[in-house]
Amino acid sequence: MKTIDDFDFKGKKALIRVDFNVPLDAEFNVTDTTRIEAAKPTVIKILEDGGSAVLMSHLGRPKGQPQESMSLKHIVNAISDILSVKVNFVEDCVGKKAEEAVANLKSGEILLLENLRFHAEEEKGDEAFAEQLSRLGDIYVNDAFGTAHRAHASTTIVAKFFEDRKCFGYLLAKEIESIDKVMKTGEKPVTAILGGSKVSSKITIIENILDKIDHLIIGGGMTYTFVKAQGGKIGDSICEDDKQELAMEILKKAREKGVEVHLPVDVIAADDFSNDANTKEVAVDHIPDGWQGLDAGPATLENFREVILKSKTILWNGPVGVFEMESFQNGTKSIGYAIEEATKRGAFSLVGGGDSVAAVKQFGFEDKVSYVSTGGGAMLESLEGKTLPGIAAILE
């Protein structure tokens, strides 16, 4: 696996695919700079070598048309502040303007290209467009894990034009390494904690990881599909009725593979889907009509904590309760505390997938786990066992 450490960038222009698809407020201020900060080590290494950096990214979904609100010019100042280097900007990502701006770029300088998705050819994976991009650098660096599952021109096709002059940036290399630690090289026991509302969205992950794990903790809304499938009463809790058979199959497969499945035994039930609802602790399979399970209960959390603390490798994907509401945050927070403790004791912990990443940030666990993935869809597809086109393009 070639990374930027395998190249000397002195006098070279690095064409770097970054993922600066960041949230902006009404005044175009960046409200979460995590993705920019994550790319900093890669960019700085290249500049310190004596190279220059040409950054390309998309922002939003402009559908192949320039849109003022999605121009990357809005984030130039934020990137400059985080990298502590002035960032130059050019109003296109291909063509004469872009090529002239790159030609004028000196060692130690940074150029940000305009939004790739202002050109429909980007998402189509157009080869001619990718060839135009390839003229803007001597070495191609992919550091955008969040888009590695898309076969777009800038993430996959452009790599064809660089043969042995392409590599991973530090961020993308770290993502691959972290997923490999869980899926291939992780010290046992390996525990996967899967939450969220739907079994259907996690089924391919479960099927792919059963051979690699020792414990499977199931929480969140998908709990109730499993409980109902086994004859439990779940009141008004969320449930995928058409997935009950599938839930039973998962439990059967897990048994056959020697994987211990840990389901909640009690829940915090509410008489309304609201932060102000009346709540009570009930057994997970005896939730009264008119009530719904919205968080894991105390006995469940104690069980889960015991499993987590004896684990050496931990994957966390999805919350175990409706953590967006203060009344139902305790379960997800408790999982975070248990993972923090296990990590302190030497376990490797990987958190990935939209909602669990949001929870980790909200409750301040970001620096207390081993790694927080920057790519939701890309991470999930990796866990499903798919080869991501953006990664394959560098390895070819």
List the catalytic residue out of 40, 354, 361, 385: 354
Q: Any known ligand binding at 35?
A: yes
User: Catalytic site residue 377?
Assistant: yes
Structure-token pair, residue 369: 């786990």
Out of 104, 138, 173, a domain closes at: 173
**Same domain, yes or no, for 82 and 191?**
no
Total tally of structural domains belonging to the chain: 2
Is residue 61 a part of any domain in this protein? Answer: yes
How far apart (Å, rounded) are the C-alpha atoms in residues 117 and 308? 42
Is residue 389 a part of any domain in this protein? Answer: no
**Same domain, yes or no, for 228 and 290?**
yes
How far apart (Å, rounded) are the C-alpha atoms in residues 169 and 240? 41
Burial 99-138 (b: 16+ CB within 10 A, else e): eebbeebeeebbbbbbbbbbbebbbebbeebbebbbebbb
Out of 112, 147, 173, a domain closes at: 173
User: Catalytic site residue 221?
Assistant: no
At 231, give phi and psi (nearest 5°): 95, 5
**Same domain, yes or no, for 169 and 243?**
no
**Same domain, yes or no, for 92 and 226?**
no
Specify the pLDDT at position 354.
63
Specify the pLDDT at position 310.
98
Specify the pLDDT at position 197.
86
**Same domain, yes or no, for 198 and 149?**
no
| CA neighbor of 319 nearest in space, from 365, 257, 375 | 365
Is residue 51 a part of any domain in this protein? Answer: yes
Specify the pLDDT at position 374.
79
Low-confidence ranges of the chain (pLDDT < 50): none
Out of 148, 173, 198, a domain closes at: 173
Give residue 343's domain range: 186-383
Q: Any known ligand binding at 376?
A: no
pTM to 2 decimal places: 0.88
List the catalytic residue out of 160, 305, 361, 377: 377
Q: Any known ligand binding at 255?
A: no
Is residue 178 a part of any domain in this protein? Answer: no
List the catalytic residue out of 12, 13, 17, 35: 35
CB under 8 Å to 238, separation ≥6 — which residues? 197, 221, 224, 292
CB under 8 Å to 151, separation ≥6 — which residues? 125, 157, 389, 390
List the catalytic residue out of 97, 124, 160, 198: 198
